[in-house]
Structure 1
Amino acid sequence: MEWYQLTNAAQIDSPAIVIYKDRIRDNISLLKTMIGDIQRLRPHVKTSKTAEVIQLIMEAGITRFKFATIAEGEMLGMVNAADALMAYQPVGPKIVRLLELVQKYPHTAFSCVTDNAEAALAISNIFAGQGRRLPVYVDLNVGMNRTGIKPGLEALVLYQYLNTLPGVVPVGLHAYDGHLHDTDMAIRKERCDTAYAPVAALAAAITNSGLPQPEIVAGGTPTFPVHAAREGITCSPGTFIFWDAGYAANLPEQPFQWAALVISRVISVVDEQHICVDLGHKSVAAENPQPRVQFLNAPAAEPVSQSEEHLVLKVADAAQYPVGTVLYGVPKHICPTVALYEKAYVAERNAVIANWRIIARDRQIII
């Protein structure tokens, strides 16, 4: 029996997401071997969005995390994570919600990023109004051109300005280089080093100005091996926990295992070479071109069309896939796929033994 096949699949309605507990543990163990000091790890929780998975990470001695939504932050507070960095600049009502997180979960040290004086002042005003001072990181634009301020004099001035505000305290720099995902590791490392150089220079300028040495939180999964080799840099991989078909193909130097699959069933045999399964846009991340899923037990199946509830596949012989056949698929992009499901089925030894709520898939839990 293949590792992914479930002896009790007949009890699981489809489409569904199944996570393989032993493989999750293996991925956590592998991650720890790839860095000298596990205190430098700050995994992003956007992939799993599941409290029980975070607890498995914490059981392995990793206590610091990164998150993007208030719900993800609340999940971390609920499991008493020691440290949680919101890698998303809060504006408007999110500032108040972040304050409420800080108030409700005192065992978790929350922080956030900011990239401009106006947003920083708004954060400071709200926290100072409650007699608090929130740790903040300056979010740097190192080439992704999504958020952040370019490292340089303007960023230094912003960092110094943060130190004058009553409701925040600057503690570090955040440099996400998600645009770097070259398959050739040598090229990726060269581009990563080039993007990182002005970050290191900025950190030196901050200490030279008399402020404490800033913590540098750098990279995601693609550049994790590069930043892990730098002394003292905090690293924030996320997808490692489940892995997916996209990263498996593009990042061959990282041998993580697939630990989350979508299962679907053949619901109709169209003709001799076409079948239809119940894996539509609502069940697997649809932002990428096809193929959006790689079926382990139908590797040659080619997607023909997809709609909200259906996926039509071309196969060599449809007779091999009668109605009711269970297909096990590796999503190309696991993170948004997980967010499509309310719960994940948990498998051990080829059988589903439990289900875990994907608690942070929603925008709000309590706060």
Structure 2
Amino acid sequence: MAERDWYLINDIDSLDTPALVVYPDRVKQNIIMLIGMIDNAERLRPHVKTFKSKEAALLMMAAGITKFKCATIAEAEMLGMCHATDVLLAYQPVGPKLKRFIKLIKAYPDTHFSCLIDNAFAAGEISVSAIGNNMQITVYLDLNIGQNRTGIKPDETALQLYKDCVKLPSIIPVGLHAYDGHIHNPDFEMRKTECDEGFEPVLKLQSAIKEEGFPEPIIIAGGSPTFPIHAKRKAIECSPGTFVYWDKGYETMLSEQPFLPAALVVTRVISKPDETLICLDLGHKSIAAEKELGSRVYFINAPDLIPVSQSEEHLVMDAGKDHSYKVGDVLFGMPYHVCPTVALYERAITIENEHISGEWKNIARDRKITI
């Protein structure tokens, strides 16, 4: 089979659509490529938001990756179920979420869980909960280095918060979390410049904390766009996530990264409303729809189709006059944003040796597994 036809499924007639399909062999190749892009796999802390399945996590663990990052209690619990060694909840747990986080720590003692803080009130609440449950909780200071979403600016205020956290009983500040998800420049050198400028204050804060007599803080930095940049630094832990499945958005933007598309949406032509239009069973409920209509899905075997409209269960495409598409034709789509697309599916159908081989349950797409 030609490389351009890697996605074909010989028993496609048994697959109902729309469907999310995953190619495990390509997932394994992506994991190997990721490890090859850094000097030590111990510096990898992949984010699990993309794949949301135990099977993909276990493939990473089998390859030597022991640390992970996640954003929800369900994602953290999935990793606990896999007996992952070290899991950062890259979120500041407040209110009921803090109670769930405490229960999570108790339920999965084989996994070391940590979380983020960015203000004194939340740090105090975590400390009180830890004391009340006779445990110590590891925390990282969440830094705002330009995204303006969460975090504290890496200045004297951040230094003071770190020092205050050291004094709080039952929480242990060990590091800094610096996510630069706002940096998306397709030009690598310009992206590197932006990344370096944003990261410089983080290094200064790290030095200031060390000068206060504390152990050198661990730094967890970046996502997929800045991964190759942070990977070249010494001792920094890196947190790419999309690499495992890859998507059209990053394939287009991050041309320097060699990852393979390993997850697709499969759809069928269900109607031909006029001589130029075809309708697919790929609505908002089946593909991430936060981007504009033309940047939601790229059809590998039908790249010339032009999107016209989309609703909950339908995607209308302009195929042009005298097109040859028939009702029942199968199209293979590469999501522009695979992470929220995966969250739309209860399961991913695995394709091996060009045949359906099983399924991976996307259990961490739920808000709750057991906790």
TM-score range, shorter chain: over 0.9
Matched to 2:304, the amino acid is A
Q: Cα RMSD between the aligned structures?
A: 0.8
User: Is 1:271 the equivalent of 2:284?
Assistant: no
Taking the TM superposition and a 5 Å limit, the aligned residue runs for 1:352-367 are 352-367=356-371
- Cα distance per residue 1:43-69 (max 9 Å; x no partner): 000000000000001010001000000
Aligned counterpart for 2:127 among listed residues 107, 124, 127: 124
Matched to 2:336, the amino acid is K
Mean alpha-carbon deviation: is it higher for 109-118 or for 267-276?
267-276
Shift of residue 167, structure 1, vs aligned partner? 2.2
User: Is 1:314 the equivalent of 2:318?
Assistant: yes
- Cα distance per residue 1:207-236 (max 9 Å; x no partner): 100111110000000000000000000000
Query: What CA distance in whole angstroms lies between the structure 2 residues aligned with 1:31 and 1:320?
Result: 40
Aligned counterpart for 2:87 among listed residues 84, 87, 95: 84
Matched to 1:337, the amino acid is T
Shift of residue 271, structure 1, vs aligned partner? 2.0
Shift of residue 9, structure 1, vs aligned partner? 1.1
Matched to 2:99, the amino acid is V
| Length, aligned pairs only | 367
- Cα distance per residue 1:277-316 (max 9 Å; x no partner): 0000000000000221000110000100000000000113
Matched to 1:280, the amino acid is G
Query: What CA distance in whole angstroms lies between the structure 1 residues aligned with 2:284 and 2:314?
Result: 8
Match for residue 36 of structure 1? 39
Query: What CA distance in whole angstroms lies between the structure 1 residues aligned with 2:168 and 2:322?
Result: 67
Query: What CA distance in whole angstroms lies between the structure 2 residues aligned with 1:317 and 1:160?
Result: 68
Aligned counterpart for 2:144 among listed residues 128, 141, 144: 141
Match for residue 162 of structure 1? 165
Aligned counterpart for 1:337 among listed residues 341, 345, 357: 341
Shift of residue 318, structure 1, vs aligned partner? 6.1
Shift of residue 269, structure 1, vs aligned partner? 1.1
- Cα distance per residue 1:77-118 (max 9 Å; x no partner): 000000000001111011110111110000100000010000
The residue matched to 1:270 in structure 2 has which SS? Answer: coil
Identity %: 55
The residue matched to 1:163 in structure 2 has which SS? Answer: helix
The residue matched to 1:182 in structure 2 has which SS? Answer: coil
Q: TM-score normalised to the size of structure 1?
A: 0.99
Aligned counterpart for 1:209 among listed residues 212, 215, 218: 212
Query: What CA distance in whole angstroms lies between the structure 2 residues aligned with 1:254 and 1:360?
Result: 27
Match for residue 190 of structure 1? 193
The residue matched to 1:320 in structure 2 has which SS? Answer: coil
Contact (CA 8 Å) 1:271, 1:318: kept in 2 or not? Answer: no
Query: What CA distance in whole angstroms lies between the structure 2 residues aligned with 1:236 and 1:27?
Result: 14
The residue matched to 1:271 in structure 2 has which SS? Answer: coil
Match for residue 243 of structure 2? 240
Query: What CA distance in whole angstroms lies between the structure 1 residues aligned with 2:321 and 2:78?
Result: 46
Match for residue 289 of structure 1? 292
Query: What CA distance in whole angstroms lies between the structure 2 residues aligned with 1:172 and 1:144?
Result: 19
Shift of residue 272, structure 1, vs aligned partner? 2.1
Query: What CA distance in whole angstroms lies between the structure 2 residues aligned with 1:318 and 1:167?
Result: 71
Shift of residue 319, structure 1, vs aligned partner? 4.4
User: Is 1:5 the equivalent of 2:22?
Assistant: no
Matched to 1:241, the amino acid is V
Matched to 1:16, the amino acid is A
Contact (CA 8 Å) 1:124, 1:165: kept in 2 or not? Answer: yes
Mean alpha-carbon deviation: is it higher for 50-59 or for 268-277?
268-277
Shift of residue 325, structure 1, vs aligned partner? 0.6
Query: What CA distance in whole angstroms lies between the structure 2 residues aligned with 1:224 and 1:73?
Result: 22
Query: What CA distance in whole angstroms lies between the structure 2 residues aligned with 1:320 and 1:47?
Result: 35
Matched to 2:81, the amino acid is M
- Cα distance per residue 1:23-53 (max 9 Å; x no partner): 0000000001100011000000000000000
Shift of residue 145, structure 1, vs aligned partner? 0.3
The residue matched to 1:123 in structure 2 has which SS? Answer: helix
Shift of residue 161, structure 1, vs aligned partner? 0.7
The residue matched to 2:349 in structure 1 has which SS? Answer: strand
Match for residue 153 of structure 1? 156
Query: What CA distance in whole angstroms lies between the structure 2 residues aligned with 1:270 and 1:317?
Result: 13
Query: What CA distance in whole angstroms lies between the structure 2 residues aligned with 1:51 and 1:321?
Result: 38
Query: What CA distance in whole angstroms lies between the structure 2 residues aligned with 1:321 and 1:93?
Result: 52
Contact (CA 8 Å) 1:303, 1:311: kept in 2 or not? Answer: yes
